[in-house]
Amino acid sequence: MTVAIIADGDMTFVWFSYIENSLPSSHEVLFTGDTEFKVASFREDTNAYTAAGNTDNLFLLPNQAGYCQDGTCLCFQGYSGKLCTESTNSSCRVTADSQPDICFDDAYPPLETTFSWMPCSLTEGDDYSCDCTPGYEGTRCERDIDDCVEVTCHYHGVCLDQVNYYRCHCYPGYTGYDCDRLLLDPCEPSPCVNGYCRLTGTGAFWCVCMAGFTGDLCDEILKPPCDDTTCIHGECDANKKCICDSGYQGDRCDTPVTICSLDPCQWGNCVVAGDTYRCLCFPGFTGQHCEHPIGRCPASSCVHGACFPASNRSFVCLCHSGYTGENCDVELDACVPDPCHFGTCFPVDGHYECLCPPGYTGHDCEVDMDLCSPSPCANGYCMDEGTDFVCVCPPKYSGRRCQYSIDHCDSSPCINGVCKHEFDGYFCACFPGYAGSRCDENINECASTPCLYGTCHDGVDFYHCICASGYTGISF
């Protein structure tokens, strides 16, 4: 019999080997010296074993994968585990530090992440399959199963995938594991100081401010809006016009007033010269302020304007507003281009006037009036539709201005029941024994003929049997 021994220099056996058929009908195995085991052989023909040392309580495992003695087993090469039930001759390996079998082989080196170390099960041949821990899938259990695939969090939150479970991150206003419970109404009491509180689709709220207020809680006073620009040195009035401070002028109150701002040159241009000014006169005029015409004008030379002689003995017509032409005889169309933003233009004596539609005001109909200021809705939310307003009424109110209460239960419509409010009406919760939309029908308990040998008398939520002669009982 041949025995293969693998040992270190101190003869402490560090490994074992299974030797095929040194004798045709025997197994030879080497046990480590730490366990009192010695070299032993087992003969299949006699179903007995012999050993070179202590063999008390020594037995072969049923799967013939190793020997055990006094509760300690030593496995043949190719097997591992406390009872030598796991094979190491396939793609499933045992790590050097005695960790459980893990799923990897030479073609699939182990990943660095911890979730790739999973229990391994042998299949046919040398193949293997990984028994994934809950929450993972894949050939080597490398994929985290998405637990949020079929989770909606009741559309009141966002699903966050975890390992083998999920967690719902709820929107404001909702709570619960699946965001299925509504928190207290954030609009009760209303946080909007000068406005109306409205719920959003996520359970939060937003404030609809009354005219003249702004801010998240409608707690800031809104300054009157001006045109596209702001008033640099002035204030904006209700018609969106800048009222300039003293010393400034212009649409934006951004132009300082100068000595020429008073337009001292009657028929010329004013030029600032230090602390004074001088006038550059138009042709045909002279004087310190260009106030003296040169020469004479022919009679009726300027139809709609003033005639001034020019230096070349001709004349110049300065036309009145709304007229043009060499002799000021051509009437301008004051409505071209259309100056009335949202209204209708009418020419009037060389200028124009605007007829504004409902909801707009101003010289050029450029100011959008706030039809909801002050709020015309007694018990509702006002919406400015441009030319008119619309009141959005809460439940139990109606009317153009939400001024009518529609509490259907005020009239006590439920004769034998309790009136309950619904969004668009009411319903009656009937007392026992009554039915109908107004609980005005007594349920006939005798309809099922409960009195077999007698006469049934109906009551309210009960019946009474008057039995025929010779019978007794509740229903006989």
Range 142-160 average pLDDT: 86
**Among 313, 331, 349, residue at a domain's last position:** 331
**Is 54 inside a domain boundary?**
yes
Q: How many CB atoms lie within 10 A of CB 472?
A: 10
Residue at 187 is within a domain: no
pLDDT in tens, 396-409: 777 888 887 777 77
Q: Is residue 395 part of a domain?
A: no
Of 122, 115, 58, the closest CA to residue 90 belongs to 122
For the chain, what is the domain count? 4
Amino acid 166: pLDDT: 92
Per-residue pLDDT of 404-454, as tens digits, reads 777 777 778 888 888 876 655 677 888 888 888 889 999 898 988 888 888
Residue 447, in any domain of the structure: no
Taking only the tens place, the pLDDT of each residue in 3-38 is 333 323 333 333 333 333 333 333 334 333 333 344
Between 471 and 321, residue with greater pLDDT? 471
Structure tokens at 226: 């001006």
pLDDT at 29: 42
d(CA 326, CA 308): 12
- pLDDT band for 227, please (50, 70, 90 cuts): low
pLDDT band at residue 67 under the 50/70/90 scheme: confident
Report the candidate in 288, 246, 249 with the shortest Cα–Cα distance to residue 271: 288
Residue 291: which CATH number? Answer: 2.10.25
305 falls within a domain: yes
pLDDT tens, residue by residue, 340-349: 888 888 887 7
Q: Where does a domain end: 42, 61, 87?
A: 87
Q: Is 39 inside any structural domain?
A: yes
Q: What is the mean pLDDT of residues 76-86?
A: 72
**Domain CATH code at residue 160:** 2.10.25.10
Sign of CA dihedral 199, 200, 206, 209: negative
Q: How far apart are CA 335 and CA 332, in angstroms?
A: 9
Question: Does the residue 169 lie in any domain?
Answer: yes
Q: Give the residues across from 227 on adjacent strands.
A: none
Query: Domain span at residue 169?
Result: 153-182
Structural domain contains residue 286: yes
Mean pLDDT, to the nearest integer, of 363-391? Answer: 79
DSSP state of 108: B
Give the pTM: 0.24
